[in-house]
Amino acid sequence: MRTAVYPGSFDPVTFGHLDIIERSSKMVDRLIVGVLDNGLKNPLFSVEERVTMLEEVTSHLPNVTVTSFHGLLVDFARQCGAGLVVRGLRAITDFEYELQMSQTNRIMCPQLDTIFLTTDLRYAYLSSHTVREVGRFGGDLSAFVPPVIVEQVLKKFGHTDLIEGKQELEDKDEQD
């Protein structure tokens, strides 16, 4: 059985992340999305919230599981029985960092390979940071994340009025 891990902070998960998850899930028997619990960062969402959101938006993919981890990626991959790490690339600047990390991981765990997938061009600019910034100011997130994530981000920033307003418009459209 070919098992891969796709690690990240996913704070929050974006359409770019989902593009990589869906495509890589077709390449392996089992894909484990690993949500990094990084004590050095101050995330918008807790690890548990990020896992729950990812489980919801990947529920249509039967060979994908979501779990959290902390520590070294090579240790997490070993625990999962994974021989592959999946990494998404948006730009050449991503490649420099990711190449260095994959080489380091390969030194620490020679049986662990990394595959790089370039994200769909529609999402090449997109990052979780962008989503958080737009959400902070109550901007339209619908081009960046699934509706359930839009709602979670807006709630986190206290924009419940935008959620309620959107729901009222949807209800009105259904009545017409």
- Could you give the residue numbers annotated as active site? 17, 41, 90, 128
Contact 36, 8 (CB under 8 A): yes
Task: List the structure tokens of 22.
Answer: 């869906």
Helix pair angle (147-156, 160-175), 10° resolution: 140
CA-closest candidate to residue 153, choices 5, 6, 10, 7: 10
Q: How far is CA 76 from CA 24, 44, 73, 79, in A?
A: 18, 23, 5, 5
Contact 116, 81 (CB under 8 A): no
SS3 150: helix
Q: How far is CA 30 from CA 24, 26, 82, 101, 124, in A?
A: 10, 9, 9, 23, 26
